[in-house]
Structure 1
């Protein structure tokens, strides 16, 4: 059984696959507590793999599934990834990188959070397709790219909840990318569009 916060269909709002229709499976629970986290983990539904697959069937035309959280690596396993592949899904995951993942996941996005949370365990990933760093203007993202030099690199301005501070951070983020063109700008377009 898996602790599922929600399953929904929308557009991928961040990173390399921005704008792509996706079914999101949001797992509940995380081993970190980042101050900007936008997910309420107080409630969840225990679901079997069969129940998850039945829910996904509501959007049968979409074969791109994003496993997210919370921290999905605390629960995702080979069995569920196998079921998703058998049903024809391309499986992407966003993780803080502190736990190992099933090898068969198609796209791994590492979103490091050690600059925001104390006592973060070391990187446990063996493969990274994308590094998506939340940029707050106070921390240099270069060391993350050194750990995954072949990954697609995204910088995402931190949403602090303060409009003026967000604008300042976004300006700093753009300036950083212009000076370090190996990075790409990632905006939380789902928030800009006011969609889930």
Structure 2
């Protein structure tokens, strides 16, 4: 059973799958405590806020409500909703609090590709063919460390930046990581001009890539 905060179909706005139609599964629960988090409603798992999956998918606002569902429940929902996307993004919250092998394997068997978006602070339990996006969260309030195993497993590392110290943190993280087969993205925090200018300059300097959260610029979920 997975604790699901919301399920919706949209366009992926970040990283290497930018522009691709995608079904997002947002899981409930995250102890990392990022100060700029834009999904703080997913942090706590409150038993009294448990609902049915049917109630979750018709939410019209961000809430802390969640549903306990199986992979089969989600696949049935995709059909019922008429979703056409074949790429599924599992996010949160912190999705790697859960063993994602059963969910990803069920999705693969049904013809979907999968992607996980994680802070890198929990062991990643997912099949080899799942695309893993690690957005490393360093020195956050929850006190969790970014795991070297998560950096090693990542297909792309997408680092949020606002100031030079965030670049320094990323360079420190990458010291012991083989990046030859990985994509490295910088993502300006909250679309700040200063952060964007810094990210562009550092992408040029280090031959990294820029992720600008396209969905926020065009006003979609």
Report the TM-score when normalising by structure 2: 0.80
Conservation of the 8 A alpha-carbon contact between 1:3 and 1:28 = yes
Match of residue 179, structure 2, among 149, 152, 173: 149
RMSD: 1.8
Which shifted more, 38-47 or 10-19? 38-47
- Equivalent in the alignment of 1:71: 94
Conservation of the 8 A alpha-carbon contact between 1:9 and 1:59 = no
Task: Note the 1:86-165 alignment, pairs <5 A.
Answer: 86-100=109-123, 101-123=125-147, 124-125=149-150, 126-137=152-163, 138-139=165-166, 140=168, 141-146=170-175, 147-150=177-180, 151-159=182-190
The one-character-per-residue Cα deviations of 1:163-183 (angstroms, maximum 9, x if unpaired) are 7xx1111111112222222x1
1:136 CA drift (Å): 1.6
Structure 1 CA distance, aligned partners of 2:128 and 2:201?
37
Number of matched residues?
190
- Equivalent in the alignment of 1:194: 219
Structure 1 CA distance, aligned partners of 2:139 and 2:178?
17
Structure 1 CA distance, aligned partners of 2:172 and 2:132?
18
Structure 2 CA distance, aligned partners of 1:104 and 1:176?
31
- Equivalent in the alignment of 2:72: 50
More helix by share: 2
Conservation of the 8 A alpha-carbon contact between 1:154 and 1:186 = yes
Structure 2: runs of 5 or more not aligned: 43-63
